[in-house]
Amino acid sequence: MHISDGILEPQWCIFWYAISAIFIALGLRIINKRIKDDPSYLPRISLIGAVVFVISVWHIPVPVTGSSSHPVGTPLASIIIGPFATVVVSAIAIFFQTFVGHGGLTTIGANTFSMGIVGTFSGYIVYRMLKNISPLWFSAGMAGFVGSMLTYITAALELALSLNPGNVVYYWKLYAMGFIPTQLPLCVAEFAFTGYVIKHISETKPEVVAPAGARLDRFTKIALMLMILITSLLAIGAYLGHLRGSDMAGTDSIVGALAAPGAISNGIGVRLMARFGEPVGFALVGIIGGLVTGYYWDALKGRKSDD
């Protein structure tokens, strides 16, 4: 998702340049330190950078649409050479891509931020989080999916901030929704592509990527399946309710009357939800509940943990 010259207002071009410059400076510092200890690191990251550039302009098949498009490539690079080196390499790649009609000179900062920083770090974090609890191909694939998706969402935010500063959230959603028909299939393609490439490399040259991750255990599989099942049921229920004209009115009053009739109407929970919005509040409730239950699960079941 390259933003061309002429789209962003000058102050936003400068802002994204400044943010990206901080990350590039950090990346260069880390690279220089690493080169001092291992001088062969310089040609290694450079050549990997060149390959990532080639990959990012390579046509990959896109599902549903039946066409082909270019992957973002930065989540893949972050798994192989690390996130900070990827930021530097992607900034250089974005600079050279401007000369083949992708992006622009004044928007190098914005494009580096969306693809090189958000795409890289989100992909890398997802990979690190999933690496030890899922197969290597899945964790790499999810890194590709999340990295690609967040790249588009960030690009949409950059557009909304610059073009419609008076109504950022509405236009952010609008641009993100506009990208979905083309970018969602591409994210799925990026999932398959990153997963397969990392699987292939781990089989042919395992030292390039970290050792293969553990398989999903039964507990994790059941939890993930239940999560998908319940979320789907809720989404279907909400949609059916919406079709019948209820417009997702919610069950606040019923729950309030039945489950907590004596609750304080302006308690800390209510105030926090009013401040941060209901979805964040409910997510927080889910996170705390899940963490506590997960932590004491084995004790509750009366047996020791598998590992």
Tell me the DSSP string of 141-182: HHHHHHHHHHHHHHHHHHHHHHH-GGGHHHHHHHHHHHHHHH
What is the CB-side half-sphere exposure of residue 242 using CA atoms within 13 A? 7
**Does 46 sit near other proteins (CB under 8 A)?**
yes
Integer Cα distance of 217 and 133 in angstroms = 8
- Does residue 55 interact with other proteins by CB under 8 A? yes
Closest distance between other proteins and the C-beta of residue 39, in Å?
A: 5
CA atoms of 105 and 99, how far apart (whole Å): 9
**Residue 136 engages other proteins in binding (rule: CB under 8 A):** no
Q: Does 208 bind other proteins (CB under 8 A)?
A: yes
Measured CA angle at 5 (ends 171, 26), to 5 deg: 90
CB closer to other proteins, 118 vs 201? 201
Q: Does 110 bind other proteins (CB under 8 A)?
A: no
- The backbone region for 77, taken as left when phi is positive above 0, alpha when psi lies in -120 to 50, beta otherwise, is alpha
What is the rounded CA–CA span in Å between residue 246 and residue 111? 42
Region 145-164 residues binding other proteins, contact defined as CB under 8 A: 159, 163-164
19 vs 164 by CB, closer to other proteins: 164
Among 18, 22, 26, 42, binds other proteins (CB under 8 A): 42
- Binder to other proteins among 123, 126, 193, 213 (CB under 8 A)? 193
Interface segment toward other proteins; rule CB under 8 A; list 47-55, 127-135, 145-153, 220-228: 47-55
Two structure tokens written together for 79 = 């798994």
DSSP 187-250: HHHHHHHHHHHHHHHHHH-GGGSPPPPPPPPHHHHHHHHHHHHHHHHHHHHHHHHHHTT--S--
**Cβ-based nearer residue to other proteins, 49 or 83:** 49
CB of 291 to other proteins, least distance (A): 36
Q: How far is CA 299 from the centre of its chain?
A: 34
In the complex, minimum distance from the CB of residue 222 to other proteins, in angstroms, rounded to a whole number:
26
Closer residue to other proteins (CB): 122 or 183: 183
Query: Which of 188, 150, 88 is CA-nearest to residue 158?
Result: 150
Scan residues 70-109 and list those touching other proteins (CB under 8 A): 80, 88-89, 92-93, 95-96, 98-102, 104-106
Tell me how many residues contact other proteins (CB under 8 A).
69
Closest separation in Å from C-beta 83 to other proteins: 16
Q: Is 169 in the site for other proteins (CB under 8 A)?
A: no
Please, which residues bridge with residue 68 across strands? 61
Is 31:85 a contact under the CB 8 Å cutoff? yes
Task: State the sign of the Cα–Cα–Cα–Cα dihedral 254, 255, 261, 264.
Answer: negative
Of 15 and 53, which has the nearer Cβ to other proteins?
Answer: 53
Place of tokens 């004491």: 296
Segment lying near other proteins (by CB under 8 A), choices 60-68, 117-125, 257-265, 291-299: 60-68
- Chain residues binding other proteins by CB under 8 A are 2-10, 13, 24, 28, 31-32, 35-36, 39-40, 42-51, 53-55, 58, 60-61, 63, 80, 88-89, 92-93, 95-96, 98-102, 104-106, 159, 163-164, 171, 174-175, 178, 189, 192-193, 195-197, 199-201, 204-205, 208
